[in-house]
Chains A and B, each alone.
Chain A
């Protein structure tokens, strides 16, 4: 724990807090420019059947009659103290609504991440062992194929093949083991692509390093070289990539949940979008940002500890780890 590391950690932490606050404000601005004000579109909508006194009550509770900047201040200070407000539709606290559906989404997202990791490793490590003429090129093409398939298509294909044809699971029971597994596969495949791309690039890079040549000249076989020399340095940057994939995981679960008919954050978003339930949308989007920022903070703080080769330059910038700054892949270019 050098001094430089602590300075770096403190700066990163401060940065994370600022980004979270700004993300909240940004979301608020986007959500509050919704066409037509929520009073007319939701409360006065005859379909919803609110009575006049109920409308007055909701307006007062949500502070909808106050200037926008006061609303923002009210909402932001509530967010900082853990109060996410009250749903405009169901009159229940937003935090309760989210807490009800969060476990299901967490299960799906972590299962999806596990699938993505396993798949990425199989593909990437496979490129080391499958000889060129037995389809190494094909294996190398997998990531770009996975990246080109929308995950709702994967979901539908899985439902068609394994649900309808083979009868492994039933769509009416979306929380069963098999249904969850296939939902996780649909979610995980596009995400595995980006992890595999980084892994393959790193393995190629490490295999060209001098230490690898030395090890090979000492007579080390492909397998030994891979296990005892290439595996660790090539896999470390994946920590950073996984952190960056958190956003994709959340966004992907939204669609996957719809396809598989699961109840979760995704279905809550869908419902809130169709009923224009602003407090719920605001809370979910900001929570997404909080999770993303925190996971990336942890990854950034852990990384110098995991990989001692990474130097913290003057306590403010770290070396790009996955590729050079100009490449397109999931690269960390830390803006100073």
Chain B
């Protein structure tokens, strides 16, 4: 009996996976780009032979060529190498921001939606307060409070994303809580926390995933903005925002701005496209 049920279940889910993996070419390309970016951040040395820190002064401010794909900067450093080596910090800090947003926001939303009553009222006000402070301003004062470093910029970005995750999780939890199967679980004697863990969390997390992916893209932008203003790691770090910020002083050699900006935009576009696809297939 159990065996039969299991076999139909796994077959069902396998065809579901096949269905889910069929994607439009643009989405496939987005996955490819995202995979490349992740590879850059894990093993930058595989993608370039140049050093991101030591340059050849004789080769300074060269235009893009076969030898230097993105040209060279004012110290003769290969810009492509700097972009590739800057990926790790740009991408992983965006990841930190999203994790903070999902965990803190998800917890707030989960408790507010599940417990209801005064807990909900108190947490709702907290979320309103977080929403009322302009997001970027919030990120700026948080990063000022804890110090100018890329990891702190990531934490600040995460804090500014807590409210949106709390809202979405809460709405999902309330929707799931009213479902018949949750009522059935209550009636058959499931404890509150068991039901929260077993039924509500998995269902609520489904719509949090596309939001998390979307927020990942936005976090890349916010962290780049903070780095641009000089609130991240100082040079010779090569975060994308910092590269653009350095490039702006050399506008006569526009690739110093355009190349890192292009990589940032393409990454965020791909991530957003994946998020939209996830939302649609859900």
Contacts and interface: CB of A to CB of B under 8 A. Distances in A.
B-side interface mostly: helix
B23 interface: no
Interface string A142-166: 0011011110110011011000100
A130 B275 CA distance: 26
A247 B130 CA distance: 11
Interface in A203-258: 246-248, 250-252, 254-255, 258
Contact of B264 (A144, A153, A160, A325): A153
A149 B141 CA distance: 23
A22 B125 CA distance: 8
Contacts of B175: 325-326
A150 B134 contact: no
Contacts of A326: 168, 171-172, 175, 207
B140 A254 contact: yes
A26 B214 contact: no
A325 B178 CA distance: 15
Interface in B214-244: 214, 217, 221, 224-225, 228-229, 231, 241, 244
Contact of B254 (A152, A160, A276, A285): A160
Interface stretch (A61-69, A89-97, A119-127, A286-294): A286-294
A254 B124 CA distance: 28
Given A34-B144, A326-B207, A156 B132 contact: no
Interface string B115-155: 00000100011111110111111101110111100000000
Nearest to B217: A148
A19 interface: yes
Contacts of B211: 328
Contact of B135 (A33, A248, A281, A335): A248
B14 interface: no
B7 to A, nearest CB: 33
A273 B146 CA distance: 12
Contacts of A252: 136
A30 B268 contact: no
Contact of B133 (A33, A269, A289, A325): A289
Contacts of B279: 328
Contacts of B275: 328
Nearest to B273: A144
Interface in B139-187: 140-142, 144-147, 167-168, 170-172, 175
Given A30-B142, A31-B145, A148-B265, A328 B210 contact: yes
14 contacts: A19-B129, A35-B147, A144-B276, A147-B268, A147-B272, A150-B224, A150-B228, A160-B257, A164-B251, A247-B134, A247-B135, A254-B140, A259-B248, A270-B229
